[in-house]
Amino acid sequence: MRIVLATSNKGKINEFKKLLPTDEVVAFSELLGEMEIIEDADTFKGNAIIKAKTIYDKLNDENAIVISDDSGISVPELNNEPGIYSARYAGQGASDKDNLQKLIDELNKKDIKETAAYYTACIAIVYKGEVYTVHGWMHGSVINKEVGENGFGYDPMFIPTGFDKTFGELSHEIKKEFSHRGKALKLAKKVLEVIV
Ligand code: IMP
């Protein structure tokens, strides 16, 4: 199956390619070039739908299968920040490093060394003009430092429940099994089985 990904986030593209090894996974930019999509909804689901529909409409191909992922990390002790603002927590155009450092700074301001956190992913699928959405979550904690080089985004400060290492240190195989994205994608595959 050929799946067009409505994201330009390299970390997500890499994960989707590994999570869908038997499908042809193409980033939208390979077909349409880079473009900025304004994500102005106030939920993960709203933003996932905006991204998938924008790319589906631009492709102008009824049979295209477009998948988007809107995701982020929420910290209950920080009023669930950064949540849907995870990609721009340190400001518009901020890098993953800037955003991770901003979250460390916010924890340090409150003298927090470790606290509960969870990732959310909403995957939207658009096929034959219809929209389908599924969610996945992963719980754990965040620490006030960066450990390890693996993963992307906030992974080097996130420890999944049941482990004592961050996703900066844990392997992709472990992330694949437990991640918000992996769980949402399992459901998305079921939806694709039914609709395609
Ligand atoms: P989006 O592209 O608007 O959905 O923003 C997602 C942002 O959430 C990313 O830029 C990361 O900062 C963060 N994020 C989402 N999923 C992950 C993950 O699996 N690991 C680390 N950070 C993530």
pLDDT tens for residues 69-86?
999 999 999 999 999 999
Q: For a substitution probing ligand 1, which of 42, 74, 152, 185 has the most ligand atoms within 8 Å of its CB? A: 152
Give me the mean pLDDT over the 13-26 stretch: 95
Q: Nearest C-alpha to atom 8 of ligand 1 is from which residue? A: 72
Cβ atoms within 10 A of the Cβ of 79, count? 9
> H or E segment at 135?
strand 130-143
Mean pLDDT of the chain: 97
Identify the burial level of 187 via C-beta atoms within 10 angstroms of its C-beta, where 0-12 means exposed, 13-18 middle and 19 or more buried. Answer: middle
Atom of ligand 1 nearest to the CA of 167: 20
pLDDT (0 to 100) of residue 125: 98
Q: Tokens in use for 192? A: 């694709």
Choose one of 16, 42, 43, 71 to mutate for the ligand 1 pocket test, by most ligand atoms within 8 angstroms of C-beta: 71
Is 61 labeled as catalytic in the residue annotation?
A: no
pLDDT of residue 163: 98
Is residue 127 within 8 A of residue 196, CB to CB? The reply is: yes
Question: In the structure encoding, which two tokens stand for residue 16, read together?
Answer: 């989707």
pLDDT at 87: 97
Percent of the chain with pLDDT over 90: 100
Nearest-atom index, ligand 1, CA of 151: 20
Whole-angstrom Cα distance, residue 173 to residue 177?
A: 6
Residue-level pLDDT at 36: 93
Per the CB < 8 A criterion, the answer to whether 133 and 191 are in contact is no
What is the rounded average pLDDT of the residues 148-163?
Answer: 97
Question: Residue 6: which pLDDT band, with cuts at 50, 70 and 90?
Answer: very high
pLDDT more than 70, % of the chain = 100
Print burial letters for 151-180: b (CB count within 10 Å at least 16), e (below 16).
Answer: bbbbbbbbbbeeeeebbbbbeeebbeebbb
Cβ proximity of 174 and 117 under 8 Å: no
pLDDT score recorded for residue 72 = 98
Q: Place 62 in a pLDDT band, splitting at 50, 70 and 90.
A: very high
Contact 159, 178 (CB under 8 A): no
Q: Are 154 and 131 in contact (CB under 8 A)?
A: no
Question: What pLDDT, on a 0 to 100 scale, did the predictor assign at position 105?
Answer: 98
Per-residue pLDDT averaged across 46-68, rounded?
98
| Confidence class for position 134, pLDDT limits 50, 70, 90 | very high
pLDDT reported for residue 159: 98
Residues with CB under 6 Å of ligand 1 are: 9, 39, 70-73, 86-87, 96, 99, 119, 151-155, 179, 181
* Chain center to CA of 123: 9
pLDDT, mean of residues 131-145: 98
CA distance linking residue 54 with residue 179, whole number of Å: 26
Looking at 69, 70, 96, 155, which residue is catalytic? 70
